[in-house]
Structure 1
């Protein structure tokens, strides 16, 4: 006679993992990786450390998940910008989106990608690596888009796609730093507009 055993039924988590991740993202956004203690994170998430480890792994993994959520949510303007029909419109959409994202009412000022990189000690190595990969990935995507623009005649033949991509990222990161320091949205928009005036003509 066969004996069929039922698989054990796992205990429900008892909390909304997506909501908890959203709250963790905001803590990292506001305080950076090293500035966000486990107590800060679990208090904001409304869970115990045991639950956090069970659901998200360690702090490094939680940060990586929070960065992914940030990229898909508040920072999604970067991905959308790449779909614009011209290189100049790509640049404008990205910088204008950065101004809005870093000065959004009800959210931390600045950018999680910049705030999070204020990790300086050995404990911040994984966070720095994740942030470098994220930023380098963004730069590469803009470089490829601008290379396409050169090929299509949308940018002049002597335009350097790599330099343009780094220029765009440098201005966006500068906007984020200024926003975190309290610079107003209007003033930052003027910075974005000034940067676009230096964009190479077709």
Structure 2
């Protein structure tokens, strides 16, 4: 009893915060921001609303934390792709990673970052803005990587790094939408392979 009395006020007990956040991420991934109600979230996380607020903040705060977890987990292929030594290998790793992440057995089909709030109404505006910024950050990172490739002679001087980055983002986002619609991994891999055969695409 003495140890409990000295514990920090409001600190959640009796659950694994890391596991709870993983489960929240899966709910947001499967249902989107607006579709993930607090009841569905807390039931999946195995905690009460009070514990959720104490550990993660409000729903928007929880969504941000879930998106961070998604970025470091299922979507980490995007950051790894930037580390490839050649521009074509960056593109291949990005597209192949998109196919694997959106069709893998470890989560719902599609991409949390693409479908998470596309159909959200006014109450989902914050999440929509968060995800728009998330996708834009990915595009800018690709653009900067391809700018470096031009400077290093890995891409022709007339190549447009911004356009190439937008092209890859459009392909990656399209792969995610089709995966959510039931297109198989094999079919989506064919799409990625076709895009890479025409590298550089623009």
Contact in 2 for aligned 1:77/1:98 (Cα 8 Å):
yes
C-alpha separation in 2, matches of 1:15 and 1:9: 15
Structure 1 segments (4+ residues) deviating >3 Å:
none
C-alpha separation in 1, matches of 2:7 and 2:86: 54
Report how far residue 119 of structure 1 moved. Answer: 4.3
Report how far residue 184 of structure 1 moved. Answer: 0.5
Listed as ranges, the matches of 1:118-157 within 5 Å are 118-157=118-157
Which structure 2 segments of 5+ residues have no match?
Answer: none
Q: TM-score scaled to structure 2, two decimals?
A: 0.93
RMSD: 1.4
Give the structure 1 partner of residue 63 of structure 2. 63
Q: C-alpha deviations, 1:43-89, integer Å up to 9, x for none? A: 10001111111111110010000000000000000000000011000
Structure 1 residues 53, 119: CA separation in 2 closer, same or farther (over 3 Å shift)? farther
1:165 aligns with 2:175: no
C-alpha separation in 2, matches of 1:8 and 1:179: 50
Report how far residue 120 of structure 1 moved. Answer: 2.2
Structure 1 residues 144, 166: CA separation in 2 closer, same or farther (over 3 Å shift)? same
Give the structure 1 partner of residue 79 of structure 2. 79
C-alpha separation in 1, matches of 2:183 and 2:119: 23
Report how far residue 198 of structure 1 moved. Answer: 2.4
C-alpha separation in 1, matches of 2:16 and 2:94: 32
C-alpha separation in 1, matches of 2:106 and 2:143: 33
Contact in 1 for aligned 2:24/2:44 (Cα 8 Å):
yes
Q: C-alpha deviations, 1:151-192, integer Å up to 9, x for none? A: 111001111000000100100000000000110000000000
C-alpha separation in 2, matches of 1:149 and 1:33: 37
Max Rg structure: 1
Q: C-alpha deviations, 1:18-41, integer Å up to 9, x for none? A: 100000000000010011111110
Give the structure 2 partner of residue 9 of structure 1. 7
How many residues are aligned here? 195
